[in-house]
Amino acid sequence: MTGNRRPTIKTVAARAGVGRTTVSRVVNGSDLVSADARARVLAAIKELNYVPNSVARGLVTNRTNAVALVIPESESRLGSEPFFAALIRGVGGALAETRTQLQLMLVRDQSERDQLTESVATRRVDGVLLVSVHADDRLPGILEEMGLPTVLAGRRDERERLSYVDSDNVGGATEAVRHLLGSGRTRVATITGPLDMDVGRSRLAGWRAAHEEAGLPAPELLVENGDFTEEGGGRAVRSLLERAPDLDAVFAASDLMAVGALAELRRLGRRVPGDVAVVGFEDSVLARHTNPPLTTVRQPVEELGRTMARILLAEIAGAEAAGAAEGVGAGAGGPAVSGGGGEREQVTLPTELVVRESS
At 225-262, the pLDDT tens digits run 999 999 999 999 999 999 999 999 999 999 999 999 99
Residue 20: give the domain boundaries: 1-50
Q: Domain containing 41 — which CATH number?
A: 1.10.260.40
pLDDT above 90 as % of the chain:
59
Q: Are residues 238 and 327 in the same domain?
A: no
Q: What is the tens place of the pLDDT at every residue in 203-226?
A: 999 999 999 999 999 999 999 999
The total number of structural domains that make up the chain: 3
Mean pLDDT of the 2-27 span: 78
Task: Say if CB 297 and CB 303 are below 8 A apart.
Answer: no
CB-CB neighbours of 46 under 10 Å: 16
Q: Within a domain: residue 195?
A: yes
What gap in Å lies between CA 263 and CA 65, rounded to an integer? Answer: 45
Does residue 234 form part of some domain? yes
Positive/negative CA dihedral, 87, 93, 97, 102: positive
Q: Are 281 and 178 within one domain?
A: yes
Is the pLDDT higher at 7 or at 84? 84
Q: Is it the case that residue 298 has pLDDT exceeding 90?
A: yes
352 part of a folded domain: no
β-bridge pairing 223-225 and 277-282: unpaired
Task: Please report whether residue 357 resides in a domain.
Answer: no
Regarding whether 14 and 134 lie in a shared domain, the answer is no
Residue 225 domain-assigned? yes
Model confidence at 123: pLDDT above 80: no
Do residue 39 and residue 64 come from a single domain? no
Is residue 99 pLDDT above 90, yes or no? Answer: no
Q: Report the predicted TM-score, pTM, of the whole model to 2 decimal places.
A: 0.78
CA 37 to CA 203: how far, in whole Å? 49
* Other CB atoms within 10 A of residue 72 CB: 20
Query: 77 and 132 share a domain?
Result: yes
> Considering the domain boundaries, does residue 247 fall inside one?
yes
Examine residue 359 and state whether it is found in any structural domain, yes or no: no
313 and 287 in a common domain: no
Same domain, 180 and 280: yes
179 plus 288 within the same structural domain: yes
- Asked whether residue 75 falls in the same domain as residue 38, the answer is no
Structure confidence at residue 197 as a pLDDT band (50, 70, 90): very high
Cα separation of 254 and 278, whole Å? 11
Q: Maximum CA pair distance of the chain? A: 74
pLDDT tier at 337 (50, 70, 90 boundaries)?
very low
Per-residue pLDDT, 213: 97
Taking alpha carbons only, the member of 325, 339, 319 closest to residue 63 is 319
Q: Note the pLDDT tens digit of each residue in 149-194.
A: 999 999 999 999 999 999 999 999 999 999 999 999 999 999 999 9
- Give yes or no: residues 150 and 181 share one domain: no
Q: Are residues 156 and 189 in the same domain?
A: no
